[in-house]
A and B are shown apart, each in its own frame.
Chain A
Amino acid sequence: MTQALDQSYPAFWEGKALSLQRLVNAGWWWTHFTRGFTAGAVLAACGLVGARLYDVETRWIWGALGLWALAWGGWSFRSARGKFIDLRAAFSRLDVAKGLNHALVSAMDGVGPWPRPQRTLRNPLQWNLQPALIPPLLWAFLLATAIWIPVGRPAGGDPIARQEPAAWSEISTFLEELKQEDLVEEEALKSLEEQLAALREKPEESWYRQGSLETTDQLRAEVEREARKMLRNLQQTAALMEAARVAGDAMSPDIRDHMQEALREMLDELGQGTLPLSEEMLAQLRQIDLSQLDQLSPEDLKQIEETLSGQCDALGQCMLAGGMPGEEGDPGFGEGEEGGEGAEDGIALLMAMMGESPSGRPGEDGGSAPMRLGETAPDAEARNPFALSNEDLSRTATGDLLALAEGEHDDEATEISRTGGRIAAPGGEGEAVWRENVLPAEARILQQYFQ
């Protein structure tokens, strides 16, 4: 009986040692496994979010995670094996924990007897739950977050980011309208369209950057300036025709020559610039010779005048369509001009070119008076400096007022372009100020916001 009991001692202690050995080795494996699997869980969580974002099947991510767990589990076993304890070390730990003074190790080596089993003996080691459970909780949290976190692209994308600056559309519309009216030389229109296309070809994210907006503003300002110049020249040409028709045979040959000269200059201007009048129309107008007015009937002149007026109206409509509202004094924006006013304008224009004033105002009647303005500046150029002609300078004293001119403050009169950065509707002055003063960093923030 006693012998049988003694023979059961080694089995008892070996069972306890095996239990301890398994616990320690499992702990080492778990420690190695959690290190690598955490990285896999993070990647899987990112993959899940991405898959949900782009409506991709998530099964392959779970499969990959499972494969990674298996592969890393095997690798962890291999790498942790160097730290695994053997049965002898487990006996030693039992010896120390139970105060057996290496009786178990000695018995295992056959040097001493096996100690009597302690039936209530528990494993002297246990799992340290906090460090053991934190990694799986972290994995669960990561994966659950990746599954449940709301994700999704905004419906229809970002309308603001994809919309081109309004100025481009306006220029484009203006050019299209001009092409339909066949007013302007086609090559010139093509050149402008190419410039516009170059702006559009840039990446969308750079459309609203400072450089792009400034280029847009410059292009639009140039187009608008050229359109207004063309409009003014057409209107003046029409007025000249009307004046020629009204005056008829009453005009002296000198005046007719002057009129012809004025017409030639206007046609030259119409044929130049970014928006030149079409060659065909220009050629027709160049055939008119006002110095030989006898050869032209009033009906012909009336027809030419109406044609030019029609072109003014067409150009005005094009400009309105292109977001270029008329300014005070601009012809062709739907305000009908009464007959006779055009003739007066033509005569005034002609006399101005001849250096005479039809109104007979002092200083403009050919005579000269001391301390007068040498030339009358047109109202449209009131800000330009005047040349002074003082013929009695001996009477002037320091501080005398030599001349006065009407003008406006620069800060108010300075033309501010307000086209490039406009989004949907024309804004006020503040928008232009904001746009032109925006810093690169601010531009980036705005760009990110709109995207």
Chain B
Amino acid sequence: MQETKLNEAELTAAGEKLQAIRKALNEVLFGQEKLLDQVIVCLLARGHLLLEGLPGLGKTELVRALGAVMGLEAKRIQFTPDLLPGDITGNPMLQEVDGERKFVFQPGPLFANLVLADEINRASPKTQSSLLEAMQEHRVTSMGVRHALPEPFFVMATQNPIELEGTYPLPEAQLDRFLFKLNIQANGPEVLQRIVQQRRLGEEAVVSNILDKGALLALMDLTRKIYLPDLVANYIARLVHGTQPGASKAAGFVKYGASPRAAIGMASACRARALLEGRANASYEDVREIAVPVLQHRLVLEYHARLEGMTGIKVAEELLAEISAHHDQLPPVVTDRKVGAGQ
């Protein structure tokens, strides 16, 4: 693909906006700087996000703040076992239009820029799968008629890792649609103290608007212009290939590895992270930073992996340790200079 050279002024302006977004979100969600960076990266890469964490850690607050900061229309859908596909996509309603009775499509809550699918694994597979088309193609089909979703369109789904009774695990095809899976970690005492001192029950945090939809779409377009060196692309390819059973030592517990969609998503995420860092090109460091969120939910592990305590995160981390970023090897008679031996 022909790379379009980035304008230095564009890069600087984008960097300033993204820094403002970072700052605004950090004012809402305390102590989650890395998580917020990854959420921004995911949005810039036009990906969907799967959040896993205990209740009360700020997932809804995050979605609301994102919508406010970026000027997006945000909606929240609470998934329940009796939720039907039409309840989220919308239903055709019989209405009288110009003297005639017609079925008129009434858009569901999916028609928003930012959709929070809360506890997505509580809905039936039928309802879960109704999200597939919306997430991949940004449209909904009802009675044979396609309805485009508003741009930009993001789905942020959450899962509760402890209440598994009465849930329907997401199928692999559904999981593959999420660019990132992020785990929200509990806060430390210092962060909790800050939360206690600055928040009151029933009060919503005041969030300033930084962008509008157009500016966000421009940033997304700019992300696509970030240069991805072939060496970095090679690293991504070797990492994704390494998830296949037998392709690496780390993939010993893997039954099915990551798909090419994962490699494409990883490349996009690398570009987005480079833009967030104010660079015109992606690097190995970007790959290492986004590899675990991209890969962890795409690896289908063997049945005995759980007995061994293996998770998708551990496999991805072992893969990063095993596969060198450099595709060429050093001869045994040459070594890295010791730290402190020179600049």
Contacts and interface: CB of A to CB of B under 8 A. Distances in A.
Interface stretch (A41-49, A98-106, A421-429): A98-106
B1 interface: no
Contact of A101 (B6, B285, B337): B285
B336 interface: yes
Contacts of B280: 106, 111-112
B304 interface: no
A121 B343 CA distance: 5
B274 to A, nearest CB: 8
Interface stretch (B35-43, B49-57, B184-192, B226-234): B226-234
Interface residues of A, number: 36
Given A122-B337, A122-B342, A126-B334, A101 B281 contact: yes
A89 interface: yes
B279 interface: yes
Size bracket, chain B contacts: 20 to 34
B202 interface: no
Interface in A103-121: 103, 105-106, 109-112, 118, 120-121
Nearest to B281: A106
Interface stretch (B110-118, B309-317, B322-330): B322-330
Contacts of B336: 97, 124-126
A97 B325 CA distance: 12
Contacts of B97: none
B326 A92 contact: yes
Nearest to B234: A92
The interface centre, meaning the residue of A28, A103, A127 with most chain B CB atoms within 10 A of its CB, is A28
B30 interface: no
Nearest to B3: A111
Interface in A399-442: none
A105 B231 contact: yes
A111 B5 contact: yes
B337 A123 contact: yes
Contact of A89 (B3, B283, B328): B328
Contact of B227 (A95, A111, A122): A111
A93 interface: yes
B335 A83 contact: no
Contacts of A102: 229, 231-232, 281-284
A353 to B, nearest CB: 100
Interface string B80-121: 000000000000000000000000000000000000000000
A413 to B, nearest CB: 79
Contact of B333 (A27, A97, A120, A122): A27
Most buried by B among A31, A83, A89, A105: A105
A351 interface: no
A88 interface: yes
B341 interface: yes
A443 B232 CA distance: 74
Interface of A: 23-24, 27-28, 30-31, 83, 85, 88-89, 92-93, 95-97, 101-103, 105-106, 109-112, 118, 120-128, 131-132
Q: Which 3 A-B pairs have the closest CB atoms?
A: A122-B342, A27-B331, A27-B334
17 contacts: A27-B333, A27-B334, A31-B332, A89-B328, A93-B326, A95-B283, A96-B326, A101-B279, A102-B232, A102-B283, A102-B284, A106-B229, A111-B3, A125-B330, A125-B334, A126-B334, A128-B335
